[in-house]
Amino acid sequence: MFIDKAEIYVKAGNGGNGIVAFRREKFEPSGGPAGGDGGRGGNIIFQVDTGLRTLMDFRYKKKYIAQNGQDGGPSKMTGKDGEDLIIRVPPGTIIIDKESRRVLADLTENNARSILAIGGKGGRGNQHFATSTRQAPRFAEGGAAGQEREIILELKLLADVGLLGFPNVGKSTLLASITKAKPKIANYPFTTITPNLGVVDWKNSSFVMADIPGIIEGAHEGVGLGYQFLRHVERTRFLIHILDVSASDEDNTRNPIDDFNKINEELSKYSHILAEKKQIIALNKIDIVFDEEKINKLKAYFEKEGYEVYPISAATKKGLGKLLDRTVELLEEIEPPHLIIDEFEQVYEPESEKTFTINLINNEYIVEGKDLERLIDSVNFDDLDSIRYFQRMLRRKGIIDELEDMGIKDGDIVKILDIEFEYFR
């Protein structure tokens, strides 16, 4: 089975908590704060593995969570960082943020990497909160939550040449004739239900050829095997459009010219990039057509339209030499298609966006946000210095300003998670 699209959930590891600790060494009764920092949470990293060909693994496993950082220790010991989680994907994988639909990475080269979720920073131990007036801080900082997101993986085959044509025109036969690929071949519609890849070795040159599954009229709207396979055509440098010259209106089968026009219409409806892609035409099955005039008429018609035409027989290999010679020449002339994005977009830090919401419910201001849990865990509400630190952080995060913009008054109730207090300016 060929899986070329998957949706998964990824979460980077949380940062470890800083701790409250003091030196308790002999002869140093007032050794001062010595709480260590928490370790960083592990990142979620996607890496290309050329040994993979599909997104099959992501059909069965939908959640990927990296390791959390360890909490800090006494004597200013920093907790261990969480291990990064490396997720391997086949070359040609595009990673899209499900919510924003923003392309995050386009992974093509072997071992190419992209960080898709950044681990949370470790919290600071109480050693960092000592000042000249606060020499024994009894609070520390909690670790930051790791970034999480739902993402869409899309696979686009990386082939130099794509074989295009209606079902049963001989694409699979041609691929089997010139490569070691072993596609399923039979005389019924949609024999090929997954794209097949093969490596062609020809006169000291080699290239990858893809047999794109049968595209029929209405494919851009999901008819037949659907538009999901049109995306694989986008990656090729040029296309070999195979037409069955044995088809004719006389025996109530398709007409090669109509086939050609219909498929190109589908390409243009799906993407202007596909419509503009270079095509050469291979008139296949000349071994079973005894009317040479018919072949010459078709060849003359398409040449008049500006296309290069090569009569071939994929089954007997007749005419394949000229077709492959021209293929090699075109691959030297045509540059690889541009990537969707030239450089990976840097994944945003969790702290770089607004991380809280405030709602007025029953005359109470309810403050919610994933980073607030970290803040609450950092506060020792029995310690005046810790409470002052808490108030400063509320101001720094913009929570106080937003409450005031909403019209909060002295004595109004504010709830942050399980903590409830009255507001006073």
pLDDT for 342 equals: 39
CATH class held by domain 353-422: alpha beta
pLDDT, residue 111, reads 86
CA distance linking residue 128 with residue 72, whole number of Å: 13
Q: In this structure, which topology does domain 1-155 adopt according to CATH?
A: Spo0b-associated Gtp-binding Protein; Chain: A, (2.70.210)
**Pairwise CA distance, residues 189 & 177, whole Å:** 20
Tell me the mean pLDDT per 10 residues along the chain, length 425.
78 92 72 89 93 82 96 92 95 88 86 91 89 82 89 83 85 84 48 66 85 55 48 81 77 76 83 84 90 90 95 93 95 76 42 72 86 74 78 86 89 87 83
Which residue is it, tokens 């409250």? 20
CA distance 144 to 397: 14
Residue intervals in the chain for CATH 2.70.210.12: 1-155
Say how far apart CA 243 and CA 378 lie, in whole Å.
Answer: 70
Alpha helices (runs of H) in 144-282, residue ranges in sequence order: 171-178, 230-233, 256-270, 272-275
Q: Is 210 helix (H, G, I), strand (E, B) or coil?
A: strand
C-alpha closest to that of 123 among 367, 402, 401, 389: 389
Q: What is the pLDDT of residue 30?
A: 63
Answer for the pair 375, 390: CB distance below 8 angstroms, yes or no.
yes
C-alpha to C-alpha distance for 183 and 284, rounded to whole angstroms: 18
Measured between alpha carbons, how far is residue 52 from residues 29, 34, 389 in Å?
A: 61, 49, 51
Place of tokens 């072949």: 295
Compute the distance between CA of residue 239 and CA of residue 281 in angstroms, rounded to an integer: 9
**DSSP 8-state code for residue 236:** S
Q: Which part of the chain is CATH 3.40.50.300?
A: 161-333
Joined together, the tokens standing for residue 298 give 């078709």
pLDDT on residue 191: 45
DSSP H helices, 14-56, are none
Nearest-angstrom CA–CA distance, 111 and 109: 6
- Count of H helices and E strands in the chain? 10, 18
- Residue span(s) of the chain under CATH 3.30.300.350 come to 353-422
pLDDT attached to residue 232? 66
The gap between the terminal CA atoms of the chain, to the nearest Å, is 64
Instruction: Report residue 222 as tokens.
Output: 């999901």
Distance CA 5, CA 399 (A): 40
What token pair was written down for 200? 């062609």
Token code pair at residue 161: 């040449």
CATH 3.40.50.300 fits 161-333, yes or no: yes
